[in-house]
Chains A and B, each alone.
Chain A
Amino acid sequence: MVCRCENVTAGTLRQTVATAGADELNRLKALSRVGMGRCQGRMCGVAAAEILAHATQQPLQQVGRLRGQAPIKPIPIRLVPAEGADA
């Protein structure tokens, strides 16, 4: 199990590489949901990148990194307006 938030296994990642030709980490995320859960890839991002690099026979730095997307950690929706006003 690579991504515990979204239940994505290493096998699913390798299969996505094989069938859809994903060779970049954000594309792998889009196709498999890896890194799309509550932790936004903070737990699984590095492992997913290593598996992708290995499966595509690229150096690790070639597969890219997950794009950072706000908020940094999950934020209750009712608190968002207050946060937004401060910003």
Chain B
Amino acid sequence: MSSIKKLQTDVAIIGGGIVGSSAALALRRMGASVVLLERDLCGSRSSGVNFGGVRRQGRSLSQLPLTQRAHRIWGRLPELLGTDGEYVRSGHFKIARSEADMASLERYRAMSSDFDLGLELISATRLRQQCPWLGTRAVGGSLCAEDGQANPRLVSPAFALAAQRAGALVFERHKVDEVAHDGAMFMVRSGNALEVQAPVLLNCAGAWAGTIASQFGETPPMYARSPVMAVTEPVPHFMRWSLGVEGGGIYCRQVERGNLVMGGGTGITLDDERARAESDAIATLAMQAVELLPMLRHAHIIRTWGGTEGYLPDREPVLGPSLTTPGLFHGFGFAGAGFQIGPAAGEVLADLARDGRTETPIDAFAIERFDEESVSPSLAASPT
């Protein structure tokens, strides 16, 4: 190889998932120069292989301002990306399987009423009439008519492509081997191919973001988990809503082509790079699917998969400034629910990179919530 390529930029971004790519796009629209490094292909990990739910309903109250901001971005997707990524506001229906579930859905509607999600509770009688295809365990549920679904394998790479078209320098297959901060500038190096210098660094490395954070003496208690996903062959269209179940478990949607995409449970993380859906989890998922949608008993499953996603113990992301290093901002740990809010998280990171602040409330996602254990001052003084 010839000598290492050196670049200077306003903002360096590690991670080309939906968060990092949308941050890159937002920064380009603000006029900042951006270099993005992605270890694999942009949008090929959790951002590209997730369920594809674009859902606000059911999120914690602290995520609602962020999710509303994201909702507005999703509404402009064709204008931003040049493709709709199969995004449709098809409705998201959360099923109650007991009176207690129904009461819980009612409480959520009351709690979230300030945010105008437009939730509508549907009784058992109406559900039978409207959705004869639904299994008998459903006793009602809550509909968010403006929530929906999209195709993650199209949307997430499209954010990266749009950022690139807007002038961001995107380097795929460039794993970050070294990051450092000299008090003023960050240095990000990928092998002997690329070295980037920037006053601002965004850590959007998903399940791998903990490694980056630890270089700066921050060790949030993150762990990796792999949701289990499966898809059936195409079947005639019968369901517009994306379905979830109160209390968790299976989630399911029917794509435009007719296939049923479903997820739930936990797969196996083979190693740092790979995850698999595992047979017991697929078996449980299949049983739940037939219970939820009895007509599926004749359908064939054609493919299963998993993805690797970062989780924090409270299942809230880390989004905001580093505690140890000025100019470093984190956006990771979306706990399997980052697809809808990803574009808003990206915009928030762009706000932070430009102004050091954002109008969207993000205090609940501060890294300092893991207090003493997350910061090790000795390491903070000497990032590698």
Residues of A within 8 A of B (CB): 6, 20-21, 24, 26-27, 30-31, 33, 36-38, 40, 69-71, 74-78, 80-85, 87
Residues from 287 to 323 in B contacting A, C-beta threshold 8 Å = 287, 289-290, 296-305
Q: Are B232 and A31 in contact (CB under 8 A)?
A: no
Q: Do A70 and B297 touch across chains, with their CB atoms under 8 A apart?
A: no
Taking Cβ atoms with an 8 Å cutoff, the residues of B that contact A are 41, 44, 48, 153-154, 157, 161, 232-233, 257, 276-277, 279-280, 282-284, 286-287, 289-290, 296-305
Give the chain B neighbours of A75 by CB distance below 8 A: 300-301
Q: Determine the distance from Cα of A83 to Cα of B283 in the docked complex, in whole angstroms.
A: 8
Q: Is the CB of A30 within 8 A of B300?
A: no
Instruction: Contact check, A74 vs B302: say whether CB atoms are below 8 A apart.
Output: yes
Contact of A83 with B301 in the complex, beta carbons under 8 Å:
no
Question: Chain B contacts of A40 at CB under 8 A?
Answer: 302-303
- Known: A84-B286, A87-B280. Contact between A27 and B233, CB under 8 A? no
Interface of B is mostly: helix
In contact, B298 and A76 (Cβ under 8 angstroms): yes
Given the known inter-chain contacts A24-B41, A27-B41, please indicate yes or no for A84 contacting B303, CB distance below 8 A.
Answer: no
Question: Are B301 and A77 in contact (CB-based, < 8 A)?
Answer: yes
Cβ-defined contact, A69 with B303, below 8 A:
yes
A58 to chain B, nearest CB (A): 14
Which residue of the partner chain, among A20, A77, A84, contacts B279 with CB atoms under 8 Å?
A84
Residue of B nearest to A76 (CB): B300
The 7 closest A-B pairs by CB, nearest first: A84-B283, A80-B286, A74-B300, A87-B279, A30-B153, A78-B297, A81-B283
A76 B41 Cβ-Cβ under 8 A? no
CA distance A27 to B16 in the complex (A): 14
CB pair B302 A37 closer than 8 Å? yes
A sample of 27 cross-chain residue pairs with beta-carbon separation below 8 angstroms, ordered by A number, consists of: A21-B161, A30-B48, A31-B153, A31-B154, A36-B303, A38-B233, A38-B302, A40-B302, A69-B303, A69-B304, A69-B305, A70-B277, A70-B279, A71-B301, A74-B302, A75-B300, A76-B297, A76-B298, A77-B296, A77-B298, A78-B286, A78-B297, A80-B286, A80-B301, A81-B284, A81-B286, A84-B283
Residue numbers in B under 8 Å from A83 (CB-CB): 279, 283
Check if A80 sits within 8 Å of B282, measured CB to CB: yes
Which of A27, A30, A36, A80 contacts B283 (CB under 8 A)?
Answer: A80
Q: Tally A-B pairs: CB < 8 A.
A: 85
A71 to B304, CA, bound (A): 7
A27 to chain B: which residues have CB within 8 Å? 41, 44, 157
Judge whether B232 and A77 touch: CB under 8 Å.
yes
Q: How far is the CA of A37 from the CA of B302 in the complex (A)?
A: 8
Query: Which residue of chain A lies nearest to B277 when distances are taken between CB atoms in the complex?
Result: A70
**Quick check: B157 and A20 within 8 Å, CB to CB?**
yes
B305 surroundings in chain A (CB, below 8 A): 69
Find out whether the CB atom of B300 lies under 8 angstroms from the CB atom of A77. Answer: yes
Given contacts A6-B257, A77-B290, A84-B282, 13 further A-B contacts (CB under 8 A): A30-B48, A33-B257, A38-B302, A70-B279, A71-B304, A74-B233, A76-B301, A77-B286, A77-B289, A77-B298, A78-B286, A81-B287, A84-B279
The answer to whether B48 and A38 have CB atoms under 8 Å apart is no
- Bound together, the chains give a CA A81 to CA B291 distance in angstroms of 12
Distance to closest chain A CB from B25 (angstroms): 16
In the complex, chain A residues whose CB is within 8 Å of the CB of B277:
70
A6: which B residues are within 8 A, CB to CB? 257
Chain B residues, Cβ within 8 Å of A81: 283-284, 286-287
